[in-house]
Structure formats: structure tokens, C-alpha cells
Structure 1
Amino acid sequence: MSEFWLISAPGDKENLQALERMNTVTSKSNLSYNTKFAIPDFKVGTLDSLVGLSDELGKLDTFAESLIRRMAQSVVEVMEDSKGKVQEHLLANGVDLTSFVTHFEWDMAKYPVKQPLVSVVDTIAKQLAQIEMDLKSRTAAYNTLKTNLENLEKKSMGNLFTRTLSDIVSKEDFVLDSEYLVTLLVIVPKPNYSQWQKTYESLSDMVVPRSTKLITEDKEGGLFTVTLFRKVIEDFKTKAKENKFTVREFYYDEKEIEREREEMARLLSDKKQQYQTSCVALKKGSSTFPDHKVKVTPLGNPDRPAAGQTDRERESEGEGEGPLLRWLKVNFSEAFIAWIHIKALRVF
């Protein structure tokens, strides 16, 4: 795990002597690798305003770190089976996080140092708040989509008593549009197959002879059809239950079955479009965040808006990435950059 300390210390005009002294002390025991962390001269107000900003920056620092962790976890969840490539998407301004911190330069265009410090802090706070708001709405939409898809998938993964039958049965398995006849589906335990074949015609009056057919089976039993007159349905159900046969409540509705199939296809398509890198059911894993810690340790003298698509976001677009993953990549970078600017302000 890499750990970064931002240290402010009295030094010469160029701060080179302080860095040299730091290198001399730490290199003997290989304690650390030291680099210069350039902080510009800011437009300082009154002492009271600086004290107030110090408290606000502490809260903003905590908020920014929490937001970054949530975004990193969202990338992990979206990547699913490609979790080994998560670090490739957690970059800052196109470079890995270590390189960004060790080669940090203040973004003069985004956070002009000629502005009062309170204005700079306000700009960063609004930027992070917008990213968080967008993150909540995007992840909520994704989670709703994922939940709906998982609910449909569960229906097709249960046993014969609970699973959907729309992908098993066909129109040819049923007698349809008959005023007098109806086809029922009966679940028969595997040890009772022979008994079913011998007795189903006599379980009730008016059962159509030789009308049973095995549709499908699982480890516990099979799903059989049987055709009979509508007026003996209840009597047949009672007799079937007495013989450990279970009539599954199901009536073939071609429009409803087609609607369910289309819904599944739509959800799968929508989910895949959110991120092209993977398209299987989401697997929850442990939280993953880049192995970097940033601490502010004062010694002597006491870190792009998410709304709309930015130029950097457009540049990052490529084949194999859906809009959610693309948004997470771009705005993780923006949030991390803002966080390090907060750190710089706290050191100052």
C-alpha cells in the first residue's frame, strides 16, 4: 500500500533546501521517496476567514474522500467479471494516481489563484456536490435496472413449482380456444412417473386419454401436460393432490409470454449498454479502492462540473465502454483531482 504525506516546512525561496534536507534524512534508512509538491501563492484574506476556511476544508476533504471511494466501488460493481482491470479505469487526468500526486500542478484554469480563497473553495465544493448528485441518480437507475433483471432471472432459475414457464412451454403443448377442453400442467415427482402414466386418466371423469406429455424435468420431478373437460378441473386437482401430483396454476397466454420475453431482452440490452465490458448478473464483492492514502501533516507553518459531457469525457469515449462506466471514469478523475487540490489548500 502506498501512503502519501503532504508536509509543509519552513524553507528557502525555491524550497529546494528543505527538500534536500528531507532527502538527506529519509534516504539513510530508505524511509520515503520525496518529491516537491508545488503550491501557488493564493489571495489571502483576513485571519478570521482563513480559520473559517480551515474548518470548511476539513469537512470538504472528508466528503471528497468518501465520494471517491463510492465512485471506485461503483466502477468495481460495473466492471463485474473484469475486476482485474479496475485500476486501468481509476486514473487522474489520464495518469495513475501515484504519478498525479507526485507530479501535482495546480490547475490555474479551473481554480484561478487570483480569486479569493473562499471562491476557490466554493468552486470545488459545488463541483463535488454536482458529481455526487449525478452519481446518486445514475447508480439508482442502474441498480433499479439490475434489480428488475435479477428478479426476472430468478424466475427462470427456480424449481418447477416457482420458475417461469414461458421459456419452456409452447403453443403446441396446449388445447387453446376450446369451449369445453383445457390443458393443465402437472408436476410429478420422479419416483412417481410410472404411477402417473397408469392413473392420470382415471383421476377424474372426462380426462382425455393419452393426452399427457413430459414437457421438461429437473432433479426432483417432471412437468406433464394433461387435457380434460373444464367442468372437472377442481375434482381433478383434488384427486391429483391426494396422489402427490401438483397442478401448476398456468394458463397459456401468448401475448403475456411474448411480453415477458421482450422485457427480459430489453433489460439485458439496457444493462449491457451501460457497460460493454461485461454482461452477466452483478456479483457483489468487497470494497476496492486504489491503494493510496493521502495525509496532511503540517510541520512549522501550518486539497470539471459533472453536469453535461466535457471535452475530456468525449475524448475518453471508445468502443467497449457504456455510458455509465465512461461517466464513472471521467468523474472519478475529476473528483480525485479536486481532492488533491483540497489537500494543497489545507497544507497552505
Structure 2
Amino acid sequence: MSIKSLNCLQIHGIVSLFRRVTRTMAEFWLVSAPGDKTCQQTFDKLCMTTANQNMLSTNYKFAIPDLKVGTLDILVGLSDDLGKLDAYCESVTKKIAQYLGEVLEAQRDKLQENLVANGVDLVTYLTRFQWDLAKYPIKQSLKNIAEIIGKQVSQIETDLRTKSQAYNSLKGNLQNLERKATGSLLTRNLGDLVKKEDFVLDSEYLQTLLVVVPKSFHHEWAAKYEQLTDMVVPRSSRILYEDDENCLVSVTLFRRVVDEFRHKCRENKFNVRDFQYSETEMAAGKTEINKLEADKKKQYDISEWLKVNFGECFTAWIHVKALRVFVESVLRYGLPVNFQAMLLLPHKKSLRKLREVLNDLYSHLDNSAMSGDMAGQMDIPGLMMGNVDYYPYVFYKITTDLIEK
């Protein structure tokens, strides 16, 4: 049995092995062509043609409902508006995907599996696309549907801006907290490292200082600290804490020589930390830490919001693609509405050949359209936005690789 005698379903069975697609970086071609005797025949002809050319693509029907056509003037104006809306929806969708990656942080490698639409991965959503009648009623005019989508995505973008600003502020505070909790002794919070008994408190004359001493200078500190100034309490220095590079030591001296002692310490590469032991302030600090740690758990909330609204934006974007296909097909092929929208998943290294095959298959639709490498560079006034892809058939590209590298 020759491949020409196979029907479209049989061909799809043959190419099932080719459907193991990398679902993170799939490039789809959304096209439409006039219906033959039936729209099914249009789809079958495409499948046969691409199959005869070494299985250039895997093809799917793309279901677009019976939308309200309106007048020619409305369609021409809407064509340009939909082009802008298409770019806007794609932009917001990518923003959400990118920001979700930032929020996931250490789990960024799981980003792609979190990018879903209607509960399924993006490739599955595209290849099984069904118009959402509840969100975008087809009894509405095309312009109204476009406005509904535009307002929906605009609101999501506004909410994203608000939520991202709040999250970035929280993230900055948490990073500062982490630096203070785990950083160098030169910068970290010392409240968790000392005890009340490490200090001389409530003395009119004496004060305990905390000094950061490099480990390589500790013997020098032990030999020098009592002689750095007068009025240093002998043998008052103790090591309170150590990290990889420094040790935190205490020393007690008379208040009147504190400034001089600080100066002498700087000359000897000993760093006196500004620290006053206060149980009230330390308790307030712990309260702030607890609050920030509680806020940190809200990271889950924003990641869930991002996942949900990524799906909302992606599905809205694909509905805009469907609107564009409908409008351009009516403008190209005329009335009554009779066209078949089809989604092609080109196989690797077949893009150029597939383009040539499609241009040959549909060249009769528009003799003025250019083929090969020159196609796609035409400026068609009134029908489309200037300098966009133009072929004898309606064509739009969709990529599921929405993450900036």
C-alpha cells in the first residue's frame, strides 16, 4: 500500500513516533487554507502533502467556532488591532513566565513543568485547542471579544506589577536579614551570638565593647589590647564566637577612653562593632525576623498566582491567534466563511523544506505572493501590519519557548 492511499488518520499513526517533541521549545505554524468540497479534505490534502515529503510536520486541526463576521471595514481595522493585541499578550505571558522563574529560585529547573494552560502542558493545549465559550462568548462581536481579552490581560499585567514590587521588597529585606544572620562578623547581627553575662551593664564608669579580630591577629590582640590605652580592665577579653576568618572578642574599659580605644583598634586592624546590649531591642529584632520569615511563606502564594495567571494569559493569547486566523481568512478567502485552520509542528531541520512545500501547495491562492526566502517580507496595506510574514496562505508562528535565556 503506497503512502498516497493512506488517509489522514493512518498517516498520523505512522508519524506517532515523531511526536516525542521537546515540550519546552516547540515552534508551531498556525495556518489556514480555503475549504475544498469539505474542510476535512483541506486538512487531508495538507497531511498527504507533508507526509509525501518525508514527514515534514505533524499536523492538527485547529478548531475555530463560527464567529460573527461584521463588515469589511471592521475586519480591516480589527486586523491591525489584533496584531498589536497579539504582541501585547505574548509580552505579558513572557513576563509572567520569566518572573515565575525568578520566584522559584533554586527550583528554577522545574519552571517549564509549572507553565501550564487549562491544567495541561502548552503543547497539549495547543494541539487540542478548544474555544472557551464561557470567557469569550461567540455571540459577541469580534471587536468586543478582542476588548474582553485586552482588558483581562491588562488587569493581569497591573496585578503583576503590584505583586512583583511587593515581592521584590520582601525579597530584599530577607536577603539583608540573611546577610545579618549568616554573614561575616564584620556585618552580621551580633544579638544571637552574645549573652547578658558577657557585658558589664548599668555601670557609670565601665563599658564592654565587642571587637572583631582576624584569626591571624588573635595572638597580637591578646598581647596588645591591655596596652592600647590606659584604663583597660586587665584580662577582661574573652572569645565569644568564631567563624572561618574572624573571632568576636569582648573587652571592658572605662567609658572615658572608649573613643581613643576605637582609634587604636583601627590602627591595629581590630574592628570595634557598634553594639549596645538591650534585651528590649533584641526582642524587637526577633519579632521582625519572625514577621519576615512569615512573609517569606507568602512566596508560595505569589508562585501560585503566577502559575494561574500564566495559564490565563497564555490561553488569552492563543484565542487572539484564533481571532487573527479567522479575520485574515475572511479577508483573504472571502464569504461565505469556508476555511480550515491547521496547526503544524515542523520536524527538526525541515523548516525550509516545509515552507517550500506549503508555498507550492497554496501558490494558487495568491499569485502576487512571493515564495521561498522572499516570502514573509511583504508590506500589505490594509490587511496586516507592515513588514510581517506574508504567504499565499494565512500564517502565524507560535512558540512555546517563552523563557528568556
If the TM-score is normalised by the length of the shorter chain, which range does it land in?
0.7 to 0.9
CA distance in 2, matches of 1:335, 1:173: 58
Matched residue type, 1:2 = A
* Structure 2 counterpart of 1:230: 255
Residue 30 of structure 1 aligns with which residue? 55
Deviations 1:30-62 (A, max 9, x none): 111111111122212221111111111001100
After superposition, the Cα gap between the structure-2 partners of 1:261 and 1:91, relative to the gap in structure 1 and judged at 3 Å, is same
**How many corresponding residue pairs?**
301
What secondary structure is seen at the aligned counterpart in 2 of 1:57? helix
Q: Calculate the TM-score normalised by the size of structure 2.
A: 0.70
Q: Measure, in 2, the Cα distance between the counterparts of 1:108 and 1:169.
A: 65
1:347 corresponds to which residue? 325
Tell me the residue number matched to 2:84: 59
Query: Post-superposition shift, 1:231?
Result: 1.4
User: Per-residue deviation at 1:120?
Assistant: 0.9
1:233-248 equivalence runs, <5 A = 233-248=258-273
Shift of 1:129: 0.7
Query: Which amino acid in 2 is paired with 1:170?
Result: K
Asked whether 1:8 is paired with 2:26, we answer: no
Question: Structure 1 residue aligned with 2:305, among 315, 320, 327?
Answer: 327
Cα deviation for residue 68 of structure 1 reads: 0.9
**Secondary structure of 1:101's aligned partner:** helix
Residues 1:210 and 2:188 aligned together: no
Q: What is the CA-CA distance between 1:224 and the residue it aligns to?
A: 1.2
SS in 2 for 1:228: strand
Which consecutive unaligned segments of at least 5 residues does structure 1 have? Answer: 276-322
Report the AA paired with residue 322 of structure 2: A
| SS of the residue 1:178 aligns to | coil
Structure 2 equivalent of residue 129 of structure 1 = 154
Rounded Cα–Cα distance in structure 1 between residues aligned with 2:136 and 2:267: 79
For residues 121-164 of structure 1, the C-alpha deviation after alignment (integer angstroms, 9 at most, x for no partner) is 11111111111111111111111100111122223344332332
In structure 1, the partner of 2:284 is: 259
Q: 5 Å matches for 1:140-289?
A: 140-275=165-300
Q: Which residue of 1 aligns with 2:374?
A: none
The equivalences for 1:17-96 within 5 A come to: 17-28=41-52, 29-96=54-121
CA pair 210-332 structure 1, distance change in 2 beyond 3 A: same
What is the TM-score when the length of structure 1 is the normalising length? 0.81
Alpha-carbon distance change, 145 to 46 in structure 1, aligned in 2, over 3 angstroms: same
Whole-Å Cα distance in 2 between the matches of residues 151 and 80 of structure 1?
Answer: 17
Q: Which amino acid aligns with 2:125?
A: F
Equivalent AA in structure 2 for residue 342 of structure 1: V
| Aligned-partner Cα distance in 1 for 2:268–2:133 | 82
**Which of the two has higher C-alpha Rg?**
2
Deviations along 1:93-138, one digit per CA (max 9) or x if unpaired, are 1111111111111122221112111111111111111111111111
1:217: how far off?
Answer: 2.6
- Residues 1:240 and 1:6: Cα distance change in structure 2 (over 3 Å): closer
Partner letter of residue 64 of structure 1?
C
Shift of 1:72: 1.1
Distance across 1 between alignment mates of 2:265 and 2:133 = 80
Per the alignment, residue 283 of structure 1 pairs with none
Structure 1 distance, partners of 2:160, 2:35, is 42
The Cα RMSD (Å) is 1.8
Cα distance, 1:243 vs structure 2: 3.8
Distance in 2 between the 1:114 and 1:221 partners? 73
State how far apart, in whole Å, the 2-side matches of 1:338 and 1:219 are: 54
Inter-partner Cα distance in structure 2 for 1:137 and 1:250: 37
1:334/1:241 CA distance change after superposition, 3 Å? closer
The aligned amino acid for 2:302 is L
Structure 2: tracts of 5 or more residues without a match: 1-24, 327-405
* 3-state SS of paired residue (1:156): helix
**CA 1:192–1:110 in structure 2 vs 1: closer, same or farther (change >3 Å)?**
closer
